[in-house]
């Protein structure tokens, strides 16, 4: 899936969410989505609607920055190579 397809899918998921609001979602990048999902769950976050996509590092960072600017929760970048972008 390319960058624009992932952005479109995330936009669609937000529009269909309970509040249709970016601020209710978290976005991030990681190299280990299962580990990251478990960490968020262990931190008490609701990951019921978790979704991740395999993506190149540059595109992943750009997708993350795009949605952080729209108000999604998350931290910019992970510091390591990140082959996945995720939301929940």
Q: What is the DSSP letter of 31?
A: S
> The whole model's pTM is what?
0.91
Task: Kindly indicate the confidence band of residue 78, based on its pLDDT and cuts at 50, 70 and 90.
Answer: low
Write out pLDDT tens, residues 28-49.
Answer: 999 999 999 999 999 999 999 9
pLDDT at residue 79 above 70? no
Locate the domains of the chain by residue range.
3-87
Q: Please name every residue paired with 67 in a beta bridge, in sequence order, or none if there are none.
A: none
Helix, strand, coil shares, percent, the chain, to 5: 45, 15, 40
- Mean pLDDT value of segment 9-38: 93
Let me know: does 85 contact 39? Beta carbons within 8 Å.
no
User: Tokens 């669609």 appear where?
Assistant: 12
HSE, side-chain direction, 13 A CA sphere, residue 68: 15
| Structure-block tokens of residue 20 | 């249709």
């Amino acid at each position: 899936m390319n960058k624009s397809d992932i952005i479109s899918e995330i936009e669609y998921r937000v529009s269909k969410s309970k509040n249709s609001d970016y601020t209710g979602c978290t976005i991030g990048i990681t190299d280990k989505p299962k580990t990251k999902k478990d960490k968020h769950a262990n931190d008490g976050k609701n990951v019921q609607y978790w979704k991740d996509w395999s993506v190149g590092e540059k595109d992943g960072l750009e997708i993350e920055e795009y949605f952080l600017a729209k108000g999604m929760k998350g931290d910019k970048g992970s510091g390591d190579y990140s082959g996945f972008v995720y939301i929940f």
